[in-house]
Amino acid sequence: MITTELLEKHGALKKMFAKNETIFGEGNLPSHYYQIVSGEVKMCNYNDDGREFIQGIFYKDQSFGEPPLFLNQNYPANAIAVEGSEVLILPKNNFMKLLEENPAVSIKIIEHLAQRLYYKSVMAVEISTQEPEHRILKLIDHGIVYFNFKKDENGHLINFTRQQIGDLTGLRVETVIRAIKSLEKKGVLKIIDRKVYR
């Protein structure tokens, strides 16, 4: 999103996070801008009885956690490394200075927020009014466009576990498994070697 050079010019540092390590926690006040160099980061919540909800999954070159940074509000969710991940971290003041000096970056930020909002709008209506199969298919089709699902001779490989699909759609893992089976029977996706293709 923002080039490594520009970030480092303003004082960004690279930091390594191990698998399952927390980058920042729900309820904390933001102090830095975060951008992924390599790896995979999820933003998620846990409800009262430990149930997880994944707000989003972020990959190489994507930033995360900006909204509360701009609003001076506490983080509404946790950021956790899904796998070992390298992240560029820039203090808020430096980030704001970078923005002032580079108006084109503002537009990039607006576009990224708009993209996130678009996903949230689409999934909100799915989660609250549609049935499991519909929700899962919407998530998958969105993922094909916006996540980095690779295409081979079987179609796009949906690089999510059943549990992750559940945590992204508000469904239980058993429900996801059964819905995916049913979708396969209907011929709208393929299951090869337990992996889902669309």
Partner DNA sequence: ATTGTTTTATGATTTAAATCATAAAGTGGA
Partner DNA sequence: TCCACTTTATGATTTAAATCATAAAACAAT
Site residues for a copy of itself per CB under 8 A: 45, 47-48, 51, 53, 55, 66-68, 70-71, 73, 76-77, 103, 106-107, 109-111, 113-118, 120-125, 127-130, 169-170
| Partner whose footprint covers residue 12, from a copy of itself, DNA, none (CB < 5 to 8 Å by kind) | none
| Partner whose footprint covers residue 11, from a copy of itself, DNA, none (CB < 5 to 8 Å by kind) | none
CA dihedral 179, 130, 53, 174 (to 10 degrees): -20
Contact between 121 and DNA (CB under 7 A)?
no
The β-bridge relationship of strands 190-192 and 195-197 is antiparallel
Question: 133: which 2 tokens?
Answer: 């199969």
Contact between 124 and DNA (CB under 7 A)?
no
Tell the smallest beta-carbon distance from residue 21 to a copy of itself (Å): 21
Which one among 97, 108, 138, 178 touches DNA, defined by CB under 7 A?
A: 178
Edge to edge, the sheet with strand 52-59 lists 22-24, 78-81, 40-46, 52-59
A 10 A CB-CB count for 58 gives: 24
At 12, the amino acid letter reads A
Contact between 139 and DNA (CB under 7 A)?
no
Q: Are 191 and 181 contacting, i.e. CB atoms less than 8 angstroms apart?
A: yes
| Partner whose footprint covers residue 101, from DNA, a copy of itself, none (CB < 5 to 8 Å by kind) | none
> DSSP for 54-75?
EEEEEETT-EE-HHHHHHT---
Contact between 21 and DNA (CB under 7 A)?
no
Q: Exposed, middle or buried, 192 (CB in 10 Å: 0-12/13-18/19+)?
A: exposed
Which of positions 144-173 make contact with DNA (CB under 7 A)?
161-163, 170-173
Question: 138: which 2 tokens?
Answer: 């919407």
Which one among 131, 141, 154, 188 touches DNA, defined by CB under 7 A?
A: 131
Which one among 180, 183, 197, 198 touches DNA, defined by CB under 7 A?
A: 180
Residues that bind DNA (CB under 7 A): 51, 131-132, 161-163, 170-175, 177-178, 180-181, 191, 193-194
